[in-house]
Amino acid sequence: MKRVFLAACLLALTAPAQIEESWNRPIEPHHIVANIYYVGTNALASFLIVTPQGHILINSDYEESVPLIRASVEKLGYKFTDIKWLLSSQAHNDHSAGDFLLKELTGAKSAVMEGDADVIASGGATDFRYGGKAFFKPSHVDRELHDGDTISVDGVTLVAHKTAGHTRGCTTWTTTVEEKGRNLQVVIAGGVAVNPGYKLVNNDKYPNIASDYASTFKTLRELKCDVFLGAHGSYYGMDAKLAKRRDHADQNPFIDPQGYQEFVTGAEKAFHKELAHQKDVESFEYVWKTVRDKHWEKNPAGLDWEKVHAELLPSVEKAPDRQTARLITQQMLERLHQTHFGVISGDLYDSTGNETQKTGEASTGLDVRVVGERTLVTGVEPGSGAARAQVQRGWEILKIDQTDLPPLIEKAGKAHSDSSLRELLLTHLVLKLLEGDLGQSIQVQFRDGQDRLISKFIEQGRPKGELARFGYIYPTHVWMDTGRVRNVGFARFNLFLDPTRLLTQFGESVRACSTCDGYVLDLRGNPGGLGAMAMGFAGWFLNNPDLRLGTLYTRNTTMNFVVFPRPNAFTGPLAILVDGASASTAEILAGGLKDLGRARIFGTHTAAAALPSVFEILPNGDAFQYAMANYISQGGKALEGNGVIPDVEIPITREALLAGEDPAFDAAVRWIEGQRR
């Protein structure tokens, strides 16, 4: 019954200047409880609270409803002119358009909640949704109410609770009555529906509408209710309760605390569903506008961006849930065929309002790469759960808990077969499956070096490194390993984050290596991070001023990635290791130093994903990553789509891993040592 009412209510209020004739039919007035009577129409509730010294009427309904209300009052045996106060549930025309006429006929004074008083006084002209001009007769408001104010006649007191949202001053009335020796709490609920055309997000005319709705439901939940009434009879199932009373005259079906709670819960769920939907639509609009306004090309990727919007917006507006809306938004971004454009689910990071948080506090200690169709263990962190389980480099991962990897990798690999991001995406897919909670054990099936199937339970432990943040993305552990092999220094780190700590540690390593034969910078598996850090790292290997790694191009500006040489920079041979999981800032640094002739590159082709980007939080709580510029390396080529091509191509192999070898690193060391000759 409640759902039927809400649908009808929303339909009728799309045309507020007209009355809904089907709502304005006379019905028999009836007793509710104690001194409260129903005198409204078949759909629009009006309540008469009677006292020996005069009466209180809640809601005048349509102007055309006033004669029906008068007939009902008089049929009950009361004088229409004894109404002393006219109160309002909400300033919509189906509840308040009759105020002028009713006051004129009775001489009653009106009391209206702040936020609605001006709407009734203007005949609806100031209504945030339907206003602009008056569409019912303006009526003077004798008293403007505030939350918690009371109206009293002859010892009967009604309390006004501001339950805004449906209107700015929507009001729920409460009072206490006595019947059969029992005190009963009466609640007459105001409006709760989100009408068609209501903007819950970015509403210039009513900026606080969503928070007002939320506050309203909090207020309604806290009210103690025995007798449940509302601004429409269908709120509280009036017709069914009247039928029940006819069948059971000894019972009062209007005493319905459970029905009240169900009404509030249902209305609140409907509100949150609509709010979530509107946030999804607004998020789509924000993403589309951002690309339109901030992409470095006026026509992003050569597309008619307006046409894309016109095509996809209707689908988002009809999306049944957030996942579908997010997918459509992501599909729009995929038409750019550029990296660093994407929508990230809100449960993957911690932001205000998100209850699900990733803390980066657990790891198996495994590093992996997908080589061809095989997922290989490329690293085992000492002291980790994987190390305690005696997992070895070179083992193939076949199953993680209940997930068989080979068919999954085959399917995902085909989906990204033409993408330079294939290795990066597949690696992250496997690492995601290996995630868990601290202390949790995950079952992993391997094929060992003798091709035997081995199952291990690996406990999630504390990851290496220190926790750092990158914008809105969830906290991540950042680490750097430095050292020497014979007389060759090396450094390896997992992300370009935590700049102060990493650059300090890196600088100490380079300074300590002033007499080294050379240096190896291992950027394999490093997906990037803060782009400006590339200039900081490069400064330790260049002693000439005015050099740059490349240039950043936005739609309106140009920025050079200028390297600022460090005092006593290392000038010996420099080798940089990369692979298909090296991306973004890692590519900027490797590509720039290669173009400057300062470094020799070993490994495999990088991910070709080097667009500078930023993260923003969308209205629906998701994160939006977008590139705001193109990046051209010093050699004149865009890294996006091209990547960094090694000088010495050395692919990873299972045989080398099982033998404990690192061919790319070993080749780099041999090259460095060969420079001494």
- Residues 384-437 have pLDDT tens digits of 999 999 999 999 999 999 999 999 999 888 877 777 778 888 888 899 899 889
Q: What is the average pLDDT across 52-62?
A: 98
Least confident among 109-113, 159-163, 170-174, 635-639? 635-639
The overall average pLDDT reported for the chain is 92
Give the residue carrying structure tokens 């808990």.
Answer: 401
The pLDDT-based confidence of 83 (bands split at 50, 70, 90) is very high
Across 1-15, 215-229, 601-615, which has the greatest mean pLDDT? 215-229
Least confident among 15-29, 284-298, 396-410, 650-664? 15-29
Q: Regarding predicted confidence, which is higher, 614 or 528?
A: 528
Q: Which helix (H) or strand (E) holds 674?
A: helix 663-674
Which tens digit of pLDDT belongs to each residue from 94-110? Answer: 999 999 999 999 999 99
The pLDDT-based confidence of 677 (bands split at 50, 70, 90) is low
Select 2-255's CATH number: 3.30.450.20, 3.40.50.300, 3.20.20.140, 3.60.15.10: 3.60.15.10
Q: Which helix (H) or strand (E) holds 194?
A: none
Residue 431 carries which side chain, given as an amino acid letter?
L
Least confident among 88-92, 230-234, 466-470? 466-470
The pLDDT-based confidence of 352 (bands split at 50, 70, 90) is very low
238: which 2 tokens?
């009036």
Q: What is the average pLDDT across 161-187?
A: 97
The pLDDT-based confidence of 378 (bands split at 50, 70, 90) is very high
Least confident among 94-108, 163-177, 606-620? 606-620
Question: Are residues 199 and 281 in contact, defined by beta-carbon separation less than 8 angstroms?
Answer: no
Would the pTM of this model clear 0.75, i.e. be above it? no
CA 243, CA 235: separation in Å to the nearest integer?
A: 16
Residue 46 carries which side chain, given as an amino acid letter?
S
pLDDT for 5 beyond 90:
no
Reduced to 3 states, what is the DSSP secondary structure of residue 425?
helix
Reduced to 3 states, what is the DSSP secondary structure of residue 545?
coil
DSSP H helices, 532-629, are 533-538, 585-595
Query: Among 526, 475, 476, 537, which residue's Cα sits nearest to residue 503?
Result: 537
Residue 88 carries which side chain, given as an amino acid letter?
S
The pair phi, psi for residue 508, each rounded to 5°, is -65, -40
pLDDT, position 609: 87
Give the residue carrying structure tokens 């191009």.
Answer: 553
Q: What is the average pLDDT across 364-372?
A: 93
What is the pairing mode between strands 547-553 and 558-563? antiparallel
pLDDT for 8 beyond 80:
no
pLDDT for 523 beyond 80:
yes
CA 378, CA 376: separation in Å to the nearest integer?
A: 6
CA 151, CA 271: separation in Å to the nearest integer?
A: 30
Torsion angle, CA of 647/648/649/651, rounded to 10 degrees? -140
Q: Which CATH architecture has domain 467-674?
A: Alpha-Beta Complex (3.90)
pLDDT for 263 beyond 90:
yes
Question: Are residues 47 and 85 in contact, defined by beta-carbon separation less than 8 angstroms?
Answer: no
What is the pairing mode between strands 227-230 and 182-189? parallel
Q: Which CATH architecture has domain 366-462?
A: Roll (2.30)
Least confident among 170-184, 531-545, 627-641? 627-641
pLDDT, position 515: 95
Query: Among 73, 70, 66, which residue's Cα sits nearest to residue 24?
Result: 66
- Residues 6 or more apart in contact with residue 314 via CB below 8 angstroms: none
Question: Are residues 227 and 32 in contact, defined by beta-carbon separation less than 8 angstroms?
Answer: yes
pLDDT for 183 beyond 60:
yes
pLDDT, position 347: 64
CA 414, CA 103: separation in Å to the nearest integer?
A: 75
- Residues 6 or more apart in contact with residue 165 via CB below 8 angstroms: 191, 192, 194, 209, 210, 212, 213, 215, 216, 271
pLDDT, position 354: 35
DSSP calls for 301-328: GG--HHHHHHHHHHHHHT-SSHHHHHHH
pLDDT for 536 beyond 50:
yes
CA 547, CA 558: separation in Å to the nearest integer?
A: 16
Angle at 582 between CA 581 and CA 585, to 5 degrees: 145
Q: What is the average pLDDT across 552-575?
A: 92
The pLDDT-based confidence of 353 (bands split at 50, 70, 90) is very low
Angle at 398 between CA 392 and CA 402, to 5 degrees: 120
133: which 2 tokens?
């001009």
CA 563, CA 50: separation in Å to the nearest integer?
A: 84
Angle at 369 between CA 347 and CA 642, to 5 degrees: 85
Measured in whole angstroms, how far is the alpha carbon of residue 644 from the centre of its chain?
35
Inter-CA distances, 360 with 463, 465, 477, 642, Å:
8, 11, 6, 31
Inter-CA distances, 609 with 141, 345, 664, Å:
64, 21, 22
Query: Among 100, 43, 85, 101, which residue's Cα sits nearest to residue 231?
Result: 43
Residue 128: exposed, middle, or buried by beta-carbon count in 10 A (0-12, 13-18, 19+)?
A: middle
pLDDT for 4 beyond 50:
no
Question: Are residues 546 and 563 in contact, defined by beta-carbon separation less than 8 angstroms?
Answer: no
Neighbouring C-beta atoms of residue 273, cutoff 10 Å: 12
Reduced to 3 states, what is the DSSP secondary structure of residue 620?
coil
Residue 129 carries which side chain, given as an amino acid letter?
R
Q: Which helix (H) or strand (E) holds 656?
A: helix 654-658
